[in-house]
């Protein structure tokens, strides 16, 4: 009964380092999303995917890259981490674009 | 573009009192509307949704919301607050044409014993 699983749950990086956040879903959903959540800002969409092999930019894509090589996985990459990217990152998936989204428990990322 | 407004970032309610969270949306097409709840250190969970049909929608944990087209609103209510209702609540509207949701900034609900 896993749903959406995010790895890792916590991470501390130094400015300039790179890393990849992994999202895996076991519900055979077509759509997957990456959000960041900051105090007072709600959720802001970084990138999303409407199917295997596709990606699209959301509201705040700068400084991030994504890949959807397999239907069940959606990777979020930070090429050169900056303190402004300190945030909680959430992955979500949905069967279709107008269906409810299922969320993971988040990754808390600090950039020093 | 579709968007959602939630006023009052923090809402305090006494245990046993009515919970009312306001959500107003803008949309040029018939909206799909959602309310999500987020408990501390967790992801968002769906409370309820409106797509078409009955305008009064019932969700989990005793919450309900009413879609009012004339007021472009989708307010969330619960008749009697419990301590376990302390959480952050987000309203969201489907953005027509590009398969994503637009979220409001959220309401942090504090329940006072």
What is the reported pLDDT for B11?
Answer: 94
Residue B60 has pLDDT above 90, yes or no: yes
Q: What is the mean pLDDT of residues A52-63?
A: 94
CA distance A15 to chain B (A): 25
Chain A nearest-CA residue for B5? A42
**Out of A21-25, A57-61, B51-55, which region has the weakest mean confidence (pLDDT)?**
B51-55
Closest to B43 (Cβ–Cβ): which among A31, A97, A105? Answer: A105
Closest to A104 (Cβ–Cβ): which among B41, B43, B99? Answer: B43
- Rounded to an integer, what distance in angstroms lies between the CA atom of residue B65 and that of residue A48? 28
What is the reported pLDDT for B98?
Answer: 66
What is the reported pLDDT for B78?
Answer: 97
What is the reported pLDDT for B52?
Answer: 83
Closest to B46 (Cβ–Cβ): which among A98, A100, A106? Answer: A100
- Work out whether the CA dihedral A51, A105, A39, B9 comes out positive or negative: positive
> Over chain A, what is the mean pLDDT?
94
Residue B20 has pLDDT above 90, yes or no: yes
Residues of A in contact with B57 (CB under 8 A): none
What is the reported pLDDT for A54?
Answer: 95
Long-range contacts of A21-25 (CB under 8 A, 24+ apart): A21/A75, A21/A76, A21/A77, A21/A78, A21/A89, A21/A91, A21/A107, A21/A109, A22/A73, A22/A75, A23/A73, A23/A74, A23/A75, A23/A76, A23/A91, A23/A93, A23/A104, A24/A72, A24/A73, A25/A72, A25/A74, A25/A91, A25/A93, A25/A102
Closest to A43 (Cβ–Cβ): which among B45, B51, B103? Answer: B103
> Over chain B, what is the mean pLDDT?
92
pLDDT tens-digit readout, A69-107: 999 999 999 999 999 999 999 999 999 887 889 999 999
Are B34 and A33 a contacting pair at CB < 8 A? no
Q: What is the mean pLDDT of residues B34-47?
A: 94
B interface with A, Cβ–Cβ < 8 A, is 9, 32, 34, 36, 41-46, 49, 51, 90, 94, 98-101, 103-106
Q: Which residues pair with A7 in a beta bridge?
A: A22
CA distance A89 to chain B (A): 10
What is the reported pLDDT for B27?
Answer: 82
A interface with B, Cβ–Cβ < 8 A, is 4, 31, 33, 40-43, 45, 48, 50, 56, 58, 90, 92, 96-98, 100-106
What is the reported pLDDT for B7?
Answer: 86
Q: Could you tell me what percent of chain B has a pLDDT over 70?
A: 99
Q: What is the mean pLDDT of residues B19-41?
A: 91
At B67 the three-state DSSP class reads: strand
Residue A2 has pLDDT above 80, yes or no: no
pLDDT tens-digit readout, B72-110: 999 999 999 999 999 999 999 987 776 788 899 999 999
- The pLDDT confidence band at residue A1, using thresholds 50, 70 and 90, is low
């Amino acid at each position: 009964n896993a749903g959406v699983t995010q790895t890792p749950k916590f991470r501390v990086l130094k400015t300039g380092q790179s890393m990849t956040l992994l999202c895996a879903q076991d519900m055979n959903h077509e759509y997957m999303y990456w959000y960041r959540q900051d105090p007072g800002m709600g959720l802001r969409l970084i990138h999303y995917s409407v199917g295997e092999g596709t990606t699209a930019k959301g509201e705040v894509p700068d400084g991030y890259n994504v890949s959807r090589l397999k239907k069940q996985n959606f990777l979020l990459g930070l090429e050169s981490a900056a303190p402004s990217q300190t945030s909680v990152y959430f992955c979500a998936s949905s069967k279709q674009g107008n269906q409810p989204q299922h969320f993971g428990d988040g990754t808390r990322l600090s950039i020093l | 573009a579709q968007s959602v407004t939630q006023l009052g970032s923090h809402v305090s309610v006494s245990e046993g009192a009515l919970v009312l969270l306001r959500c107003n949306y803008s949309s040029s097409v018939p909206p799909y509307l959602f309310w999500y709840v987020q408990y501390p250190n967790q992801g968002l969970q769906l409370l309820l949704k409106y797509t078409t049909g009955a305008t009064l929608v019932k969700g989990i944990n005793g919450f309900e919301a009413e879609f009012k087209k004339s007021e472009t609103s989708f307010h969330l209510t619960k008749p009697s607050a419990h301590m376990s209702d302390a959480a952050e609540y987000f309203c969201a509207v489907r953005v027509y044409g590009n398969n994503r949701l637009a979220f409001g900034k959220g309401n942090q609900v504090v329940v006072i014993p």
